[in-house]
Each structure stands twice: as structure tokens, then as C-alpha cells.
Amino acid sequence: MVKDRAVSQDLYKFVDFGFISPNKHSSTMISLSSLHSVQLRFMCCFIISIAICLGAETSKILCTEKERQSLLKFKQGLLDESNVLSSWESQKDCCKWKGIKCNNQTGHVIMVDLSHNISDVFSVEQPLAGEISSSLLELTELNYLDLSFNTFDGLKIPSFMGSFQQLKHLKLASVGFVGPIPHQLRNLTGLHTLDLSMNYLLTVNDLDWLTHFSSLRYLNLTRLNLSEIVNWPLSMAKLPSLIELQLSSTTLPDPILSSLPLNNFLNSLEILNLSDNHFSPSIFYWISNISSKLIHLGLMACQIQGPIPDVFTNMASLMSLDLSHNQLKGGLPKSFKNMCSLESLNLESNKFSDRLYDSIKNLSCAEETMKYLHLSNNPFWGPFPDLTNFSSLIELFIDGTNMSGPLPKNLSQFSNLNILSLAYNQLNGSLPDFTGLSSLRLLFLANNQLSGYVPESIGKLYSLEVLFLSSNSLNGVLTEAHFLNLSHLNNLDISHNPLSLTFSSDWIPPFQLEFLNMETCNVGPEFPKWLQTQKKLRSLYMPNATISDSIPIWFWNLSTTLTELNFSYNQIHGQLPNLSPKQKNYFSLDLSYNNLSGPIPLLSSATNLILSNNIFSGPLSSLCEAPALQLFRLDLSNNRLSGELPSCWIHYETLLFLNLAKNNFSGNIPISLSHLKNLVLLRLHDNNLSGEVPSLEDCKELRVIDLGRNKLTGMLPTFQGQSLPNLLVLRLRHNEIHGSLPLSLCSLPALHVLDLSENNISGSLPECLNNITAMSSDVNDNIIIGLVQVVWKGIEIEFGQNLKHLRSIDISSNNLGGKIPETFTSLLKIISLNLSRNHLTGTIPEKFDKLSSNLESVDLSRNWLTGSIPTSFSSLNFLSYLDLSYNNLSGRIPKGTQLQSFDASSYVGNLQLCGQPLTQDCPGDEMNQDPGAHDGDGDDKDEGAYIGWGFQVFGFGFWNLGIEPACMETKFFEFRIRKYFPKHKLLENLIATTDAKVALLGADYCLHVVPVQGQIPESVYAMVVASKDKKLANAVQQLLASDHLRINTSRQFNMAFSLSNSFRRDVIVSASQTLATPEPKENKLWGGRFEESVTDAVERFTESISFDKLLYKHDIMGSRAHASMLAKQGLISNSDRDIIIEGLNKIEKLIEDGKFEWRTDREDVHMNIEAALIDMIGEPGKKLHTARSRNDQVLTDFRLWCRDAIDLIVQRVKYLQVALLKLAIKNEGLIVPGYTHLQRAQPVLLQHLLLAFVEQLERDAGRLLDCRARLNFCPLGACALAGTGLPIDRFMTADELGFTGPLSNSIDAVSDRDFILEFLSANSIIAIHLSRLGEEWVLWASEEFGFITPSDAVSTGSSIMPQKKNPDPMELEDKEPSFDSVKTILGMLEVSAEFAQNITFNEERIKKALPAGHLDATTLADYLVKKGVPFRTSHDIVGRAVALCVSKNCQLKELSLDELRSLNPVFDKDVYEYLGVENAVEKFSSYGSTGSSSVAYQVDYWVTKLGITKET
């Protein structure tokens, strides 16, 4: 636009100088869209004219001395830092000076053009500044003055400029003038051009002064404030010669139509630009009356709303129309059919919701002239429009609409097309043939649903420079043929497609790329060698590209041109070189989520350095050796970095984001961090940092401070709001901070998340926390970049951008006391509040209903709160997590659906609390129920098996007491008791029934108690009733009354009960329990300090050989590696090593042959094998345990076993995936009913449903592989817990056993079992997925469904019903998960795969079932939405259509068009394309949907990924 405008002004200048003489037609047919061609024509004229002028130099006419001196005086007032006017001193003839033109006949200066060139962005030339001297008045013939884009800031427009009698062109754009426009300017009555644009501080109170410029042809007041000039159209109407009017960004008010002339009052106007103002649709009516000669009309960004009025009938001359960035609706009016000269139409970024076909139809008259068509970012809908006759198109933008369906198969009619942008639509199907588009330079098809292969014809786009195909479903292989002729290609984005790239190792591409994105494509496993040829690369993205190679050295030589590099989420290994000497440009580097190791290299040219989630180790010394002075983001989290944090942060002033979390850093947080004045995010959590928390008060831009899970001590610093006004997250959880909460916390206005939990903070809660503005009212949310860990509803999760909606306070697990301040109920925006595990007292504040709009999570458990639960809790409609347990709350739980929906665990431990969901009734409730009435099969009639007794004891709480086995199971006795407390007022009517199963086990047993907190009553009585064993009942009552019961209390109210030996014997005798006499036992390998053997009961309890003998292979493997290491380190001899290994081999053979004697007295597999080895080889066997403990031995064996188990399970997962995929391929095209809540919902392709399970299994395998990567570190050599002083080599044993390396902390190595939990968790999720699959098939195999028939090979029969054929393998999945997770999962996977291979889908039965349920109802609603009907209205219409079908006993597709139109007239014949399950399925087109093309892509993707063929 700026360039075109300059051209138009030059044309006027040439006319005035007499260089050209336009006729009446050529002067009125210029538009901005055609000015490029016009420019060439007139520039030729200009060059010829200049040649004529130069020929006149033979007369040797020089400028006059008077004018020369006036120019030099003018120069003296200027500041010329770049010496722009150096020619004014070196040459005598002022006509040859820069910016000066003279009349060739008289020598008088007629032009002064000293405008600063702003189009050259790389120019270092500075604009002129200073004063504008009135000496210019000596230039009496001056008719052109241009000082635009210089710097005269603060000056007023010189009044003397009104005295230039010959001046025709005055251009003063963007020079910084201020104040009013001098009235003297109205004296310039012959003015043709006036440009005062972009002088923002000029004061314009009226436009009356313009009425003097009757000859004015060009007027530019862009970006002047004209908001007060209501009658501006009248002022413009008095400029009859005006050809071009530029009034963009002037805040013009709407024109008052009633006060304007009727027609053509600006009859000469050709170019009108009113963009970036605020108008109503009435502006169209004013424009339609001003001129019939308009060529260009600009109304961009004028906030115009509603449809375009049909007023363009008289604008047949219009060649360029820009209505972009408004809020226009509907479609193009019919009067657009009259614009037969239209070359450029820009409707980008409006709300046009018409069908594309209909709007394009109204451009029919412009088919031959249209060159630039921009329809992007509108809700236009329908298929790709028919543009066959628009053969002149050069640019076509229809991106960001609701356009759907396939592309035309051939685009050859667009042979002139330079740019084709159809990105961000819902286009599907395959790519077209690109043959014939030889002029195409830019092709944007990203973010659609295109599928299939990329045609090789794309290689025939000889002029192609930019190719964006990202975020589609394109598949197959790209080869050299696809890029054969793309020699001009410089930008390529094929990311987020399941494409594979196969090039020969010596391929030399014909192009030189500057931008390349292949994210998620299959590029690896080898590093792409062809990149070596790309010498101009600036941005390179290959995340998740299956590369599992190291980065070659040659690549780092190539990287000197790069500004962005991303290889994250691959499996790249090796070390990084120091890049500082090689890197010329500043660059952003992301290599996160790889397997890179070694130290952090020197990367002083980095702007973003993201190396998180690798295995880098060592200190961060490189940061100080070569500081990255332009570093904005540093993320080294989740590595193995150690040592103290660097202290050179003073060199990193530009740093915005610092994340060093989850490493092994220690020591104090350096003071130099406070020099990071621009820091936005600081994450140092999950390290071993110590010392006090820094105040960071100089880091005023901080949004996030996360120092959680360290060892920080001292008191909280005084975080002040004026120092940290933007702080969103303050997280210091799990440290050793003490002292009270500083009141300065209340002054942090933007705080969203406050987490100080798990510290030693004492004192009371501040009353002023409601002063945190963000917690109590809406604030402007700041953007968070990166993830922040937050405890949410009891679970620690990571929040990203959605953190801006979260308000959370967590001060749990501290030593806070006092009451909860009433002001907490003023935290109106808070969503999560956790004050649990403190010593808070008093009652819960009453007015929690004020928080009903947002509060979702409340945890006040394990305090000393009293009183009742406020009734206002019933109003907390969004509450989804509540824990008030273990307080001293009393009374009835307020009634309300929300509170009763929580589990009883939310309220337990409050003795005097009653009502649902607790089983304890409140006074006045129905309560006289038979205490045994609700019991299941526990019946008092059983004479021998049950004894009816039980009791409860009040201490600091209300306790259920039961006796559990300590060693072995024997008989079980059920005890019941009925209790009442007549002497206690609060409980006098309480009747409750409790059941406890008790096992009596001879001499060894223990007592377990479960606390239910409450107050100590004055006196308590318990009665044993309905007892079948009076002696035992009496013994229990004696227990309550005697000192045999001892109660020990602690702060947490955990109570321990113990019985005296005499009472224990009484109970034993009453239960008739006897003990066997133990036999002499073998001394333990660990029994040197023990004088007595353990009892049989203890031995039975502690043995594990019955199940851990499965580890024998891994135990022997570990022992072999350990023996080899001991020999290498000289701790045992080589001969001892050989004897040990030979003995271990023999033991392994005995075990495999079933001849090895497993002995329970040797406790476990490890002791069994070692003891047997010593028995076999003698003294050398006793040396094997050197520098090894059973602690590290057990963990090493178990990690090895888990690793092997994972490999086997992942293999079985793949088998099942393949079976499901083959089953899907076998049943291509079969449609089945999709169910929600076991109700028919929508039709889906069977392939789609089966592939859902394949996707779930893929994540299952991924979880296991993630677990494997984390557990694959070796504990061996950590010994008992502290390591050893012997010179062992832990890296050798780790390497020999196939571990990634040794665990770096010996205590962690032997104490933590998190890998087992993670392994079992992953297995549990697999079991859930397989259970879902099994349940699906069990239902489908039933007679009611009959969708599948399992073969006899995977079915069983009934023991009583001969007709049954049961899919039992799918139902027997819950028998052993708790005993043997791996065995169960392997069995489930195996049987599921077998089942998938042995079922047949009953296609006819399924087809008969499809019509029921009106599965095409949703698709019909979508049809109405595409017709412009709101979805909720559509929902209602379709609901009535279904009701009509039910009454007629027919399907939706069987309704007549008249019947449908009776529901809504918008229905048309095309509705039947949406009805019927086959049509409905085909209408699903979103990514990942059940549409045939989407499912075909999914099938192809999994066929490729799982490495099978489609042959079933």
C-alpha cells in the first residue's frame, strides 16, 4: 500500500512538471491494484523526459547565486548526522545537489525533495533534524517541497510555508510536527498535493481551511485525530478536483447522510482510503453517492458490523475493494455482479457465513478481471468453489474458513496463480494433480484433513518457493522425485503428517532451504545426511522425527547460519561440542527429550537453550566460562547436573525464563540471581538446594517462583507487592522453612497460586489474604510460558496456559494455629483451598456461599476445628473435592446434593458429626434397626463359627479395636456388639452396629486400631450382648475395666494398644489355640550376633522364597557380573571368580532341571542361591558377597526382572495391536452403532472403533517403555545404604548388566521402590483397557447384540446350560492381578490377541441393527448448522423430527421433504445427502473422526507403524 501510494503521488508530480500529459481516460483508470503496471509506463515517460532535460544542459544554465545561498542557509539550520547533504558543499551548481531540481530554462529551483527513505530497512542513514529556515522563501519558483520522514519533533508547521506562491506539492508526512495547522496554509490556493499524514500531535479542530484548495488532487491526513470534526464529508465535498483521499486511522465519526449533497459531489475521486476508523454500515451509503469513478476503496478495520448493503450498483469502475478486518456478516450482495472491472477483493477476517458457492456466484462479472481474491478467516462454508472461469487469478486466499470436501482433481486452469492459500479449513481427500501450475510460488494447504499420498506432480511446480502441508493426514513416502524440479524452494513445512522420507545417501537436493519443519515425520533412524548440502538454513525443526543417531560433526559447521534449531523428542545420543567459536548468529536451540549426555557445552550465542530431559551431568561451569549474553530462555531441567549453581548470573541480564528443576544441584541459591531484572519464570524445584530463600525483590518482572522440594531453611522473606507486582505463582512446598507468614504476602496483587505446604511454618493465618487482588476479583491475566506444578484436589499435576484460570492457596502440613479468618470467604475467585494438617482451631467461617461461583476443592482435614459444618457449604455448586475429616466437628452434615455426593471418608474422624453420607444417624432420625439386619452372610444362628461380642473405647477419639494375625491364619471369629451410653447426654440415644473380624493366633498376635476422633465423655459403658461364649465376653469386659489396656497418644492421635501376658493367655485358652514345638534351625547367613533362632511364625511371615524364586536368573546374572568386577578390582582372585561363576552356572542348571532344593529357612531366592553356592564350592563362595548387601542385590534383581517383563509385555501388546489391526482391515467399510451410556449414539466404522483400542495400547506400551527407561539404572554397589569404602567399579557392573548407568545416590538406590509402583500402575492401566475391550466383546457376543461370533477355540460352555457358548476369555480377567501382575497381563494380552484372531463379525446382523436409534440425528443437526441455524435450535428441530419418525415408525431418511420443511423451511433436497448411516459416516471429516478417509489414514498409519501388510 505504501509503495502504491508513492507511485500515485509520483504520477501527479510528473503531470505538474509537464513530463506527461494524460488524456481524460488514463487519468481516471488508475487503481492501487493496477499501479504496478502503470508505474512502469510512467517511469518510462519520466526517463524520456529526464533525457530531454539533460539534453538542454548545452545551454549551461546554473542555479542563481541568491537561491544557492538561501539553500546553504537552510542547510545551516539542519542536523545532518549521516552527511546526507555532502553534495551541497562539494558542487557549486545547486541544481546538481541531492534533492534539488531546477527549471532547465531559467535555472530557478523548482523542487526540494529531502524526504528520508524509510523503505530501505537496512540503511544506516539517519533522517535530518533541526530547524526549518525561512530562507527557502528565496526559492520563488518552488512548486514541490517534500521533507517527509525526517525528524523535526516538537516544531510547529512553519507559517511562512503559506507564502510559497508557486507551490503545488507540499509533503510533510511523519516529521513530528505539533500544534495547530497555521491558517497561512490556506493561501496555497494552487496546491495539488498536500500530505500531513502521521504527524500524530497536530491539532485539527476543523477542516474549513481545505475549502481554499479547489485544485487539490491528492490529500493525505492519515493518522491525524479528526474525531471532533462531525462535518468532515461536507469539507471534502468542496474539493471538486480531488482524485485521491487518504483518511485512514483518523478516528472519523460516522457521516450524517441527511446533511450531504445528493450525488457525485466528489466526481473526480478515484482512490478513497478510510481504513482503520470506526463506522456503521451507513458509510456504504455515503460512498455510493460521492463518485461514479472510484477505482480503489479501502475500508479495512473499520469495525463495520452486519451485512454489506446492496449499494454497489453504481461502482462499475471499481478495481480494488478492501473490506478486510471488519465484522461483516452474511455474503456478498447481488450488486457485486455489476463490478466487471474488479481486480482485487479483500474480505479477510470478517464474519461472512454464506456458502462459498453463493458468494462467488455474485462475482461472475469479474471472472476475467479478478487477480487478487482474499476470503480468509471467515466462516464461509461448503466445498471448494467453482473458480474454473477465474483464469486471471494471481493470488487466492481462502484459508481459515469452514470450507470442506475435496480439492479439484486438476488445478491447471490457474496457470497464472502465484499464491494459493487454503490452510486451516476442513478439506479432505487426496491432493490434486499440480501439473500446469508452473507460476505457483507459494502453496499453503496446512491444517486440513487431507489424506493419501503426496503426488510426484508436486515436483513440477518449477517456481515454487514456499510449500506448507503441515497438520494433515498425508501418508506414504516422499522421495527425491517429489523435489526433482523445486530449485526455487526455500520454505518447506510437512510437519504433523505420518510421512516417511527416503532419500539416497548421496542425494543432493536442487534447493537451498531457509526454513524446514518435519516434526513427527519419519526421518530417522539415521541423521539425515542431505542436510549437509543446505547452506542457507535459518530455521530447522525435526522434533519427534524418529532419529536415534548422534549429531555428526559436519552439522555443527552447517549451524553457523541457523537462528532456530529443534531436534527435541527424538532418541539422539552422544555429547554436544562447544559451539561458541563457530556460531556467528544468535540462535535458539531445543534438544530436549533425548539421550544426550556429558557436560553442558559452551553455547554463548544461544538465545534460547532448552536441553531438558536428557542425561547431561556434571557442574554448570560452562555458563560462566562463556556467558550467553543474549540468552532469553534457559531450560536444563530433568537432567543429572550437580554441584552448586553458578554465581555469574550478572552476565545474563536478558534472561526471561530459567528452569534448572529436577537435577542434583546443592548449596545456596546465589545472590547474583537477583541481578536478573527481566526474569519472568524461575524454577529450581526438586534439587538439594539449602540456605535461606532469597527475596528476589529486584526481579520485578517475575511471574513464577518455584523453589519447592529442596532443603531451604530460615524464614520466609518479605515478598512485597511493589517489588513483585506481576507474581502469579509462589511455590515453596516441601522445604524446612520456619517462622510465621509475613503480612507482605497480602500485598502481592497478581498472585494466583500460593503453595507453602510441607514446611514448619507456625503462627496464625493472616487476616489480610483477601487483599490479594487476583484472589478476590478479576484481573488482567498474564501469560505463563512453561508448566507449573500445582497440587490440585490432592494430586500434584502440571498446569500450563490454563493456569491463568486457577486460584489456589495451599498452606497444608505446617504448624499453623488459631482460627480460619472470616476474610477467607472474600477470596471470591479462589478455586482450591488446602489448610489441612495444621493445628487450626475454632469454627469454620460461615459465609462460604460467597465462593459458590468458583470454589472446587476444599481440604481442612486433620486440624482441631470444632462446631458444625456451615450450611453455606450446600451452596458450593462446583465443589468436587472436600475433606473435613479428623477434626472435632459436630452436628448434622448440611443437606444438599453436593455434600451428600461425597464419600464418607470426607467426614470421618468427627465423633459428633452425623447424617448422610455417614452411617451415624442424627438424633430424631429413624434408628431402631436390628443390629444384625444389614449383615450379609454373618448369621448368629451358626453355632460353632461365631462369637457375638465387640466393643468400642473412647480416648481422645472413638476407636474400633480388632485383633489381626501377626504370623499365620487360623480360625476367624465374628464379633458384634450393641452399645449405648445412658450417662452421656450427647450420645444417650446412639445405637450403632459394628462388625470386626478377629483372628486369634496362638501366642503371637497384634492389635490394630482405627481412629475416629471425638471428645472424651464423662463416663462410658459398653455391654456385650447375645454372646455365645460367656467366658470370652467376661474377659473382654474385664479388659475394659482393668489396667490391662494401656493407651499411648501422640500429636496425630495414633493410638497403640497392648495386652498383658496374663490376659493374652486367658484369650488363648478360651480360643483353644495350641502351638507346635519347633525343630532346631540352621544358623542364618546374617545371624552372627543372634543367640536365639526366630520362631516358626516369624520365619513363615518373613520368608519370600515361595514367590521370589522367579528371580533366580536375574540373581545369578547379577552375581556373575559382581564376581567379575571384584576380580577386576583385585578384591578376589581370578581363580575364585572362575570357581564362583562355574558354581553359579551349575546352580542355574539345577533350578532349570527342577532339581534344586528351595528351603524356606533360607528366606529368599538370594540367600538360597548363595547358601547353596557356599555348600557347593566352599570358601570362594563366601567371598561373593564382598561389597554387596542384600539390599542392593534385591533391587538389582528386581530391576532386571522388571526390565525383561516390560520387554515381553510390550511385545505382547504389539501382537494384540497387530491382531486388532488385521481384524479392522478384514472388516473395511463395516458400519456399527456407536454407543454412549449403552444407548445408541452415532454410526461409526468398525475400523475406527478397533483402532481406538490400538491407540490405547500404543500409549500403554509407551508408559511401559518410559518406566523401563527410568528403572534401567543399577543399584548394585550401593550396599546396605551408604555405599562402600572398597575400590569397586559400579560402572562396570552396570554396563555388564545392560543398565544405562549406576544410580547416583546410594540411599535412593536401596530405599525407593517407585519403579515398582510405576510398573504396576502401567500394568493396571493395560488391564483396564483390556477389560474395556473384553466387556465390549462380551456384550457383542450376546444373543441380544449378536454382532460377533467367537470360534470354538476361544469359547467355553456352561456347566448346567448346554445351549450356551461363552466368550469366557474376555470375562476371566480379574483373578490374579494382585498376586502376579505380569503373569496376569501377559495372559490377558495373549488371550485377547487369540480372541481377536478367532471372531467373525456378523455383518448382516449388524446392518439390521443399524436403523434402530436414529444414528444419523447428529449429522442432521450438523446439516442445519451449516445452513446457519444455531446448534441449540437445530437440536430441537432434529428432536422433533425423531419424534415424528417414532410416531410414523420410520427412519429420518424416510421423511418427505415437505415433512422436514414443516419443521423448518431451511431444509432442501441436499438434506438426503446427510441421512442414512452410510451418508452420516461419510460426513464425519474432522481429524481422527470415523469418516472413511480419516479411518483409512489411521489404518495406513498403523499398518506402517506396526510393520504389517494389508493382506489379512
Which grid cell sits at 826?
472474600
- Residue 977 near residue 1025, CB atoms below 8 Å: yes
- Grid cell locating 315: 461502482
Q: Which amino acid, 54?
A: L
Tell me how far apart the alpha carbons of residues 673 and 670 are, in angstroms, rounded to a whole number: 6
The span from the CA of 70 to the CA of 86, in Å, is: 16
C-beta of residue 622 within 8 angstroms of C-beta of residue 598: no
Which residue from 748, 910, 770 is spatially nearest to 847, judged by alpha carbons?
770
Query: Do 546 and 523 touch, CB atoms closer than 8 A?
Result: yes
β-strand 881-883 against 857-859: which pairing, if any? Answer: parallel
- Sign of the Cα torsion 1048, 1051, 1053, 1056 reads negative
Q: Which residues of 920-938 are buried (b: 16+ CB within 10 A; e: fewer)?
A: bbbeeeeeeeebeeeeeee
Element holding 26 (H helix, E strand): none
Closest CA to 343 of 314, 386, 374: 374
Secondary element (H or E) of residue 1391: helix 1381-1396
Tell me the C-alpha distance between 392 and 368, whole Å.
6
d(CA 1170, CA 1324): 34
Task: Compute how many other C-beta atoms are within 10 angstroms of the C-beta atom of residue 1452.
Answer: 24
Contact between 492 and 516 under an 8 Å Cβ cutoff? The reply is yes
Number of C-beta neighbours around residue 36 at 10 A: 11
* Torsion of the alpha carbons at 1328, 1333, 1337 and 1338, rounded to the nearest 10: 0
Which residue blocks in 888-939 are alpha helix, DSSP H? 897-900
Which residues touch 416 (CB under 8 Å, ≥6 apart)?
A: 391, 392, 393, 394, 439
Residue 137 near residue 163, CB atoms below 8 Å: yes
Residues whose CB falls within 8 Å of the CB of residue 1178, separated by 6 or more in sequence, listed in order: none
From the list 643, 639, 685, the residue with the least C-alpha distance to 667 is 643
Measured over the CA atoms of residue 976, residue 978, residue 984 and residue 988, the dihedral's sign is positive
CB neighbours (10 Å) of residue 629? 14
How many Cα atoms sit within 13 Å of 175 on the Cβ side?
25
Catalytic residues: 1237, 1358
C-alpha cell at 1114: 536375574
Asked if residue 273 lies in contact with residue 294, where contact means CB atoms within 8 angstroms, the answer is: no
CA distance 1265 to 1274: 17
| H helix runs in 813-920, sequence order | 897-900
Contact 820, 845 (CB under 8 A): yes
Q: How far apart are CA 676 and CA 42, in angstroms?
A: 57
Residue among 950, 940, 999, 945 at smallest CA distance from 975? 950
DSSP 1139-1185: HHHHHHHHHHHHHHTT-----GGG-SHHHHHHHHHHHHH-HHHHTTT
